[in-house]
Amino acid sequence: MCKRIFILTGAGVSAESGLGTFRDKKGAGIWSRFDPMKLATPEAFARDPEKVHEFYNARRLNLLAATPNAAHVALAALEVALAKRGGHLTLVTQNIDDLHERAGSMNVIHMHGELLKARCVACHRLTLWRRDMSTADACPACGRANALRPHIVWFGEMPLYLKEIFAALNEADMFVSIGTSGSVYPAAGFVAEARALGIRTFEINLERSDNADEFDETRYGRASEAVPDWVAEILMSS
Ligand code: OAD
């Protein structure tokens, strides 16, 4: 049985909770309707911060109305079950939502940041943030006006926790990618890294991702069904 499992999740795991994905083959993803270069880059924020705030304020409202689905719940249960068996789950997500945490996952690594946090560009501190954000808000930590931004990794910025992520991948005996299109690096490169390490690789997605060919095994279906099924199989094989 695999005891040290490294899981990477993407927008597909939260799709059935009502949060939109960024890309899909039908062209209905968030980045088909909104231009990421005008909303998700440091340059866009410098040019028009209120427009960027407006985009993330809408997404924050959407998130606060959403609830975790069966995929989030199954992954939280897997974390507990593996720990009881002397194993370990590393859960890395590209998602900026908190649905893994709300389902009970205890150690979630948010490599692209968190929508419910504000970051101060002056003092760099993070503040929990559940309401709309605007240029009129002062940083609650240092009081500086016009210094808050969403705690999101934008295009052109370095993802967070890469050292911890690669260290965990080095110790894993299985890599599982769930609900991600495999089109944004460095996360899209984790499967190649896992293969180089000789780790078993597995994809769960609604449809073939951009890097599906790189996986040892793939399974296609809705995350809310495919993930609980896979978790049950993993736990039965112990
Ligand atoms: P994408 O929107 O690129 O891909 C979503 C994936 O989820 C696709 O491969 C879909 O097939 C799959 N999917 C959709 N519904 C599903 C379901 N019900 N069950 C299982 N799979 C489903 O999302 P990510 O790969 O997460 O970055 O995108 C990576 C990054 O690109 C995001 O973190 C975001 C974006 O720009 C930032 O905003 C920094």
Q: Are residues 120 and 226 in the same domain?
A: no
Q: Are residues 194 and 82 in the same domain?
A: yes
Cα dihedral: 194, 199, 202, 203 (round 10): 0
Tokens read off for 231:
């978790």
Q: Are residues 35 and 97 in the same domain?
A: no
Catalytic residue among 88, 112, 124, 151: 112
Beta bridge partners of 119: 126, 149
Q: What is the pLDDT of residues 181-234, one digit of tens each?
A: 999 999 999 999 999 999 999 999 999 999 999 999 999 999 999 999 999 999
Q: Are strands 108-110 and 113-120 parallel, antiparallel or unpaired?
A: unpaired
Which of the four pLDDT bands, split at 50, 70 and 90, describes residue 26? confident
Q: Are residues 137 and 73 in the same domain?
A: no
For this structure, is 151 an active site residue? no
Which residue lies with its CA nearest to atom 25 of ligand 1? 180
Ligand 1 pocket check for 113: Cβ under 6 Å: no
Look at residues 126, 152, 178 and tell me which one is the last residue of a structural domain.
Answer: 152
Which of the four pLDDT bands, split at 50, 70 and 90, describes residue 237? confident
Question: Which atom in ligand 1 lies closest to the alpha carbon of residue 31?
Answer: 36
CATH number at 220 reads: 3.40.50.1220
Alpha helix segments (H runs only) across the chain:
30-33, 36-39, 42-47, 49-64, 70-84, 99-103, 162-171, 190-196, 223-236
Count: domains in the chain: 2
Look at residues 124, 152, 180 and tell me which one is the last residue of a structural domain.
Answer: 152
Letter for the amino acid at 78?
A: L
CB 17 within 8 A of CB 59: no
Which residue lies with its CA nearest to atom 35 of ligand 1? 22
Which of the four pLDDT bands, split at 50, 70 and 90, describes residue 172? very high
Q: Are residues 88 and 118 in the same domain?
A: no
pLDDT of residue 125: 98
Q: Are residues 188 and 211 in the same domain?
A: yes
Q: What is the pLDDT of residues 94-143, one digit of tens each?
A: 999 999 999 999 999 999 999 999 999 999 999 999 999 999 999 999 99
CATH number at 50 reads: 3.30.1600.10
Q: Are residues 129 and 208 in the same domain?
A: no
Look at residues 91, 122, 152 and tell me which one is the last residue of a structural domain.
Answer: 152
pLDDT of residue 24: 82
Ligand 1 pocket check for 94: Cβ under 6 Å: yes
What residues contact 135, with CB distance under 8 A and at least 6 apart? 49, 50, 53, 146
Ligand 1 pocket check for 39: Cβ under 6 Å: no
Q: Please state, in angstroms and rounded to a whole number, the distance separating the CA atoms of residues 93 and 223.
A: 14
Q: Are residues 215 and 185 in the same domain?
A: yes
* Domain of 171, in residue numbers: 1-19+69-112+159-238
pLDDT of residue 94: 98
Q: Are residues 202 and 212 in the same domain?
A: yes
Q: Are residues 57 and 95 in the same domain?
A: no
Q: What is the mean pLDDT of residues 23-42?
A: 91
Q: Please state, in angstroms and rounded to a whole number, the distance separating the CA atoms of residues 102 and 105.
A: 7
pTM above 0.95, yes or no: yes
pLDDT of residue 64: 98
Q: Are residues 99 and 187 in the same domain?
A: yes
Q: Are residues 125 and 225 in the same domain?
A: no
